[in-house]
Chain A
């Protein structure tokens, strides 16, 4: 038996040796863009690097918007074997930076002038103690509404610009016999809607409640009003909403079963894939009452400490390739998001993409660009999930009114801090 195990072990050592015999110039990338178009889009980056002689060792881990990938990352860092670059969101980056395990990108960020072209609200996450630690790939904004053009035309109303108009459109759609609001009952989707509702209460209020976590804002009247609106929106979804994936909700709008969906700009890909065009098959608007402000969710590649000059060089080359305007444009056209730098030309983007780029630049100038709570850019994980708990409970009818929910939110956030 001993002989047998030994044989196995050596056979394995051989194969493992083959697969991990990395060249010094390889980058190892942990991410959750694991399938379909977004994975293909990432391939553009891989090929850019290949041209510079840098190999790409892929470690994709899907599941729960990066949750499984973060678990795998914890295991790898604990094992002392961190990857070169890891796709990461918001406070996860900050948390890892505080562990002192992230690298330093100043060598490329300085000369390439990242400070000038990347929105400051993003820099808050891409930099730690004044040093660049992560390279942002894109900016998704979450306060969008995707409306079926046919369903809207049938109501005879214009695209809504405030809460009252939105309700009027929803009511009319209901009369027309379709589900007014397509929605999937998963905590992050409930929270995505709620982000917009809070933002519509005023961008200062959003900042006070979801960025500064001010207890008075969290438990106050405006929060109660936002929860009351959430309960109102709840009445426009079909009875079958819970657990539905977001893309199936998009499909309902595409098929004409439903009137609209409140979702981030990744939803656009579903419409395009179904052969619809912005302005023809569907319309994209900012959530009523939030035009001028943007809640964002940005994918970034956080760079970990790697040993060896060659490895550092490869890592820096990767960071530089990510921020190249050509890649930013090519990747984001496919992904549905907008470039993380504000100086990329919008020529290749469709109308919704152009609007997204313009809105982002405007919000950046006006200081109304905020991290999305629903996507980990508002507050750290413990707080984020505590707000999810309350929002989801509210959406599922556990609180009698908005004021009770707001009080519960205040308590939950306090307990999680």
Chain B
């Protein structure tokens, strides 16, 4: 991998390099623009926003919108801000990501190292399940959750997210393990290692990079989900539902500065995951998932 991690050997001229830097910087501006708009407007008083310049720096800096979004904004009948909803989201996201990643890993392991007749069809079925539109599963899923007694609970949400996250997590791990030499597994078998032992001792220790990819993907999708959270969360609502409640009030006065502050707050966990794990992310993709 040390060889693979190098930059390209292609060399370029000075003008070309200047051009490349220019393009890269322009794109960086393009990607940062919405974040800038949100950030700069979240520290302005409301009066400066309505009727002011969207791009201008605040004339009067204020952190009140942030305080309000975090702890005092009215969400439903309770003036709690977003704070309490974070806990629900974390209690939902962490187990859902952990379970779907573990299941994806073990499925990928079986589908590549313990192959059997029909395994490709099974994988194909699981992969195609990534494309199911979530709108159509709402009603039957509600029925099933009701029958399981999990309606309106965090467990129910975890179940839903695990079920619909399986396709992608299996895809990632299967492609990653496909590149792992099967001979090592066979050799371990001859030495008497069993199914789980091989998984724990041989496969898992090398799975770091792809686990990062899988965790990032699942974390992002589950954290940002609104449809399932609003429909199955009941009174234990995740963050996105609270955020939506804050910004979408139909007939109230819109406090845009608070909305933007709340929007950034709600995104902080995913942003942290991206920034912290981001450097391993490319490495993880490189190590497996892009090798068809």
Contact = CB atoms under 8 A, between A and B. Distances in A.
Contact flag (A, B; Cβ within 8 A) = yes
Interface of A: 1, 4-5, 8-9, 12-13, 15-16, 19-20, 28-29, 31-40, 42-43, 46, 56-66, 68, 71-72, 74-76, 78-81, 245, 247, 251, 255, 266, 269-270, 273
B151 to A, nearest CB: 4
B245 A35 contact: yes
A72 to B, nearest CB: 5
Given A32-B250, A58-B76, A59-B235, A74 B155 contact: no
Contact of A13 (B73, B106, B155): B155
B30 to A, nearest CB: 22
B105 to A, nearest CB: 9
Given A68-B230, A78-B139, A79-B145, A35 B235 contact: no
A19 B234 CA distance: 11
B77 A58 contact: yes
A68 B158 CA distance: 21
A155 to B, nearest CB: 23
Interface stretch (B95-103, B114-122, B179-187): B95-103
A83 to B, nearest CB: 8
A407 to B, nearest CB: 33
Interface string B74-88: 111111000000000
A354 to B, nearest CB: 21
A61 B245 contact: yes
B235 A36 contact: no
27 contacts: A8-B94, A9-B155, A33-B249, A35-B74, A35-B75, A35-B252, A36-B252, A36-B253, A37-B252, A39-B75, A39-B252, A59-B234, A60-B75, A61-B230, A62-B246, A62-B249, A64-B250, A65-B250, A71-B138, A75-B138, A76-B152, A78-B143, A79-B145, A79-B151, A79-B152, A251-B51, A273-B253
Given A34-B248, A39-B77, A12 B146 contact: no
B49 to A, nearest CB: 11
Contacts of A33: 76, 249, 252
Interface stretch (B12-20, B125-133, B236-244): B236-244
A12 B248 contact: no
A38 B77 contact: no
B232 interface: yes
A35 B142 contact: no
A251 B252 CA distance: 13
* Most chain B CB within a 10 A radius of its CB, from A33, A59, A75: A75
A179 to B, nearest CB: 14
B244 A68 contact: yes
B231 interface: yes
Given A31-B76, A34-B75, A76-B234, 12 more contacts: A33-B76, A33-B249, A35-B73, A39-B74, A40-B79, A62-B247, A62-B249, A64-B248, A68-B248, A80-B146, A81-B152, A269-B251
Contact of A81 (B146, B237, B251): B146
B252 A74 contact: no
A57 B145 CA distance: 20
Interface extent on B, as a size class? Answer: 35 or more
Contact of B248 (A40, A59, A62, A78): A62
Contacts of A61: 230, 237, 241, 244-245
Interface string B58-82: 0000000000000001111111000
Interface string B130-150: 000000001101110111000
Nearest to B141: A75
Contact of A8 (B98, B142, B230, B231): B98
Contacts of B245: 34-35, 60-62
Given A75-B138, A78-B143, A273-B253, A59 B237 contact: yes
Contacts of B145: 79
B50 A56 contact: no
B139 A75 contact: yes
Nearest to B252: A36
B221 interface: no
A255 B236 CA distance: 41
B287 to A, nearest CB: 23
A60 B146 contact: no
B166 to A, nearest CB: 14
Interface string B255-285: 1000000000000000000000000000000
B273 to A, nearest CB: 19
A80 B151 CA distance: 8
A269 B95 contact: no
A9 B92 CA distance: 11
Contact of A19 (B98, B138, B235, B253): B235
Nearest to A57: B235
B51 to A, nearest CB: 6
A296 to B, nearest CB: 15
A78 B139 CA distance: 7
B254 interface: yes
Nearest to A273: B253
A79 B157 CA distance: 13
Contacts of B251: 38, 266, 269
Contact of A56 (B77, B142, B158): B77
B154 A15 contact: yes
A140 B171 CA distance: 53
A34 B151 contact: no
A81 B252 contact: no
Contacts of A63: 230, 244, 248
A28 B153 CA distance: 14
Contacts of B147: 80
A81 B151 CA distance: 7
Given A8-B98, A12-B91, A39 B249 contact: yes
A414 B143 CA distance: 33
A40 B74 contact: yes
Contacts of A12: 91, 95, 154-155, 158
A181 B30 CA distance: 35
Contact of B142 (A9, A31, A75): A75
B142 A38 contact: no
Contact of A247 (B139, B230, B237, B253): B253
Contacts of B255: 36
B142 A78 contact: yes
A285 B151 CA distance: 48
B252 A38 contact: yes
Given A16-B155, A78-B143, A251-B50, A72 B231 contact: yes
